[in-house]
Amino acid sequence: MGSQDRKDIESVAVESSQLKRQADLTYMHEALMDCGGEKEYKLIQTPNIAF
């Protein structure tokens, strides 16, 4: 297994975790919108959550 293969696997892993996070945020956003909770959504969407 070459170093290029490893790099590809790592980039795919990072990408999938970012996509999952985006999906989680979208889900939370939709769930809060159902409750009319725009303010609560802004509190949840903090920029300091690390991947």
Q: How confident is the model at residue 24 (pLDDT cuts 50, 70, 90)?
A: confident
- Kindly report the average pLDDT of the chain as a whole number: 72
Listed in sequence order, the residues at least 6 apart from 1 whose beta carbon sits closer than 8 Å to its beta carbon are none
37 pLDDT more than 80 = no
First to last CA, the chain: 26
Closest to 33 (Cα-Cα) out of 24, 21, 41: 41
CA–CA gap between residue 35 and residue 28 (Å, rounded): 11
Domain ranges within the chain, ordered by starting residue? 12-44
19 pLDDT more than 80 = yes
Q: Nearest 5 degrees, angle CA 46-CA 47-CA 51? A: 110
pLDDT confidence of residue 15? 86
Chain length of the chain? 51
- AA identity, residue 44: I
Q: How confident is the model at residue 4 (pLDDT cuts 50, 70, 90)?
A: confident
